[in-house]
Amino acid sequence: MRRHLAALLLAPILLATAACGSDGDDGGGGSPDQPDKVTVGVIPILDVAPIYLGVEKGFFAERDIEVSLETAEGGAAIVPAVVSGQYQFGFSNVVSMLLAHSQGLPIKIVSNGVNSTGVDGEDFAALMVKADSPIETAADLEGKTVAANTLQNIVDTSVRASVREAGGDPSKVKFTALPFPDQPAALANGQVDAVFVVEPFQQAVLAQGGRKIASSYVDAAPDLTVAVYFASQQLLAEDPDLAKRFTEAMAESLSYADSHPDEARQIIGTYTEIAPEVIEQLTLPKWPAEVNRESVQTLADLALEDGLLPEEADVEALLP
């Protein structure tokens, strides 16, 4: 499975590298009169509200960076695009970063992305079941099927942490890949026994009478860093000043979003199709400027214990 995943990640990188050639035209290279133009690969979810807000507030422009935001389904598309130079920066969950790094992909985290609230029962993501389900705790998921948006990422790692904490055997939980938008209906019709959903799909499950049995991000680690922004090692070597300015702009954007939740909610409506009345009900994540390094190490340890990583991860080499 890991070799298959590596092949999927590396194939588009090799194709893109061959197509790009070696003319050095990566869309950047700002001058005293022109800003650096960068493309950032993001996922159209509330997690990335800070970068949209930062662009709107001019935090990047103040540092001579012109940002183009390109949406993708997830890190499986964003990682190879960053490595090939199609995107200069990207957004992805931490476990996917750890897996890509363990497979030798030349990437490095440059900024924090989004954190759990750290409050059990009041996080922006939850492990949920139907109202009439016999499942009361995560330990009851042994032999049951849980829907995850993609497999071998932070979702199944965190859910297994909840099962382990509740006294169950995480190796006995089954996972099936299902996009977040499809999970509320799949839960309602009995296609799966439980779902792990982020906002706004948490609100959708609650609206149909579902209930939370665990806040898996909270169970995995206190104040968990869930996702980050990253760049290729090549960009960091060739233009460290651009990377430094991007990191500074992201830090300001994260801090601003975290201290201005009303503006964060407003910006979410500009790049998602979430209804305004639902946006008002969303549980927002935390957006600290700094990566919670200890939580990244915890995720690496959990991924190793669960068999996702073949060996101990060099977390410090991946972190900024």
CATH number assigned to the domain comprising residue 228: 3.40.190.10
Query: Do 232 and 93 share a domain, yes or no?
Result: yes
With respect to residue 80, please indicate whether it lies within any of the assigned structural domains. Answer: yes
Query: Do 10 and 104 share a domain, yes or no?
Result: yes
pLDDT-derived band at 75, boundaries 50, 70, 90 = confident
Look up the domain containing 209 and give its range: 125-220
Instruction: Return the pLDDT at 22.
Output: 33
Give me 64's structure tokens.
């001579």
Residue 58 Rama label (left phi>0; alpha psi -120 to 50; beta): left
Q: Scanning the structure block, which residue is given the tokens 């995480």?
A: 170
Query: Do 91 and 145 share a domain, yes or no?
Result: no
With respect to residue 25, please indicate whether it lies within any of the assigned structural domains. Answer: no
Side-chain half-sphere CA neighbours of 137 within 13 A: 12
Query: Do 166 and 105 share a domain, yes or no?
Result: no
CA end-to-end distance (rounded Å), the chain:
29
Query: Do 236 and 94 share a domain, yes or no?
Result: yes
Q: Above 70 in pLDDT, residue 6?
A: no
Give me 63's structure tokens.
């540092």
Report d(CA 216, CA 160) in Å as an integer: 8
With respect to residue 22, please indicate whether it lies within any of the assigned structural domains. Answer: no
Q: Which of 164, 196, 220 is the last residue of a domain?
A: 220
Query: Do 65 and 132 share a domain, yes or no?
Result: no
Query: Do 199 and 262 share a domain, yes or no?
Result: no
Question: How many domains does one find in the chain?
Answer: 2
pLDDT-derived band at 32, boundaries 50, 70, 90 = low
CB 123 within 8 Å of CB 218? yes
Instruction: Return the pLDDT at 168.
Output: 97
pLDDT-derived band at 16, boundaries 50, 70, 90 = very low
Q: Which of 194, 220, 246 is the last residue of a domain?
A: 220
With respect to residue 175, please indicate whether it lies within any of the assigned structural domains. Answer: yes
Query: Do 237 and 153 share a domain, yes or no?
Result: no
Q: Which of 220, 255, 281 is the last residue of a domain?
A: 220
Query: Do 110 and 83 share a domain, yes or no?
Result: yes
Instruction: Return the pLDDT at 267.
Output: 97
